[in-house]
Amino acid sequence: MSEHVLKVENATMQFGGVVAVDNMNIVVDKGEIVSLIGPNGAGKTTAFNVITGVYAPTNGAVYFNGKKIIENHPQGKMKKLYQGQNAGKYTHVLAPTPDKITQLGIARTFQNIRLFKSQTVFENILIAKHLRRTSNLFTATFHLNGKEEQKMREDATHLLEIVGLKDERNEMATSLPYGKQRRLEIARALATNPSLLLLDEPAAGMNPQETDELTAFIGEIRDNFGLTIFMIEHHMDLVMEISDRIYVLDFGKPIAEGVPEEIQNNQRVIDAYLGGAADE
């Protein structure tokens, strides 16, 4: 039986009194584009932060290609609170750092663009390629023989061609128009050779034309790079057009899962989200 590329099991993330993610179960299969939607503050980014090792979950586990990569079980008083959810299933804490997650083959973009600001387009890609080899930014640029370095440069050039940024290669990353900065950020994530790509609101701040281009671009990179994509997005046109399946979060809990048509017609979703919070 083939394993899910991503499986989130009973994940709970609590910050003091706020339960940002509440016993969440999600699976994403190979080659799928799956979206995570929900009103502001529903817990979507927190879910990404759990999957990418930014936060160790209060409870639960994350599997990547069938291998458990993250798990936690509550201690002390919390143990009693979460006992019902996993009944002693988890035996130890496994909390890899984000760079270890990247090295496993999971890449991510952020709600706010995070490019290396004082570097060119090409350098942004090259640094990301080095980071796949080592998590240390300083050693990343050393310890390579000429051949390896040459290969990385060729790969970076090739990647810029594929994503349509080769003409901008020597421009400063931050001088690019907004839509292209987003594209560069995705390209930089691709430079780490992921098999799973997490996109956090890739269309945030984009105009309709940029959003249309991005929609096509996400489909293209899924096909060209054999990717599995898990995406948070508020632009419903993009979500409905491109998603194979959609999960809806409300107050940290998944309230629905299904293909776009099912989600559009789900009364609970309409009540919780589409009726009020959608921005389109």
Ligand X SMILES: Nc1ncnc2c1ncn2[C@@H]1O[C@H](COP(=O)(O)OP(=O)(O)OP(=O)(O)O)[C@@H](O)[C@H]1O
Q: Which stretch binds ligand X (CB under 6 A): 43-51, 80-88, 170-178, 259-267?
A: 43-51
In degrees rounded to 5, what are phi and psi of residue 91? -110, -20
Which residues make beta-bridge pairs with 141? none
Contact between 46 and ligand X by CB under 6 A: the answer reads yes
Say how far apart CA 111 and CA 146 lie, in whole Å.
36
Say how far apart CA 140 and CA 226 lie, in whole Å.
26
Tell me which of 18, 93, 95, 259 binds ligand X, using CB under 6 A: 18
Tell me which of 7, 44, 73, 129 binds ligand X, using CB under 6 A: 44
Q: How far is the CB of 112 from ligand X (least distance, A)?
A: 10
H or E, element range at 105 = none
Map residues 21-40 to x or -, x wherever contact with ligand X holds by CB under 6 A: -----------------x-x
Residue ranges of E strands in the chain? 6-15, 18-28, 33-37, 59-64, 67-72, 106-108, 196-200, 228-232, 245-250, 253-258
Q: How far is the CB of 139 from ligand X (least distance, A)?
A: 30
Q: How far is the CB of 206 from ligand X (least distance, A)?
A: 16
Nearer to ligand X, 47 or 242 (CB): 47
Contact between 20 and ligand X by CB under 6 A: the answer reads yes
- Of the CA atoms within 13 Å of residue 242, those in its CB half-sphere come to 32
Which residues contact ligand X (rule: CB under 6 A)?
15, 18, 20, 38, 40-46
